[in-house]
Structure 1
Amino acid sequence: MCNLSQYIKEEGILQGRKEGRIEGIEKGKVEEKMDIAKKMKLEGFSKEMIKKLTGVVLD
């Protein structure tokens, strides 16, 4: 019984790490798009063009 509970615990930890990595990657992609959009704004791109190219809506 101890082996089963240990296995379940370890699988839960592995699943949590996997989900955390996926969330981190997604967050990084969003931050990268925001950085690109901000640079585009500084370069004079219109809000419409920034949205079209990056999917980011700037205020």
Structure 2
Amino acid sequence: MVETLLDKGLVLNADIMVSVAGVELLGIRLRAALASFETAARYGLEFPSGTDTETAA
């Protein structure tokens, strides 16, 4: 199950806005991804320099 999820990947995008009387008071953008390094790199996600993508966690 976990291997399939990491192989296929899962991405969550969410925009949360709090407004009163049409005036936006708070805006939050969230993007989270759960995938193996290989899958994430294939879809264009970038990693900080120095990230070892070959070592298992």
Q: TM-score, structure 2 length as denominator?
A: 0.24
- Identify the structure with the greater strand proportion: 2
Greater C-alpha Rg: 1
Q: TM-score, structure 1 length as denominator?
A: 0.24
Highest RCO, 1 vs 2 (Cα 8 Å, sep ≥ 6): 2
- Identify the structure with the greater helix proportion: 1
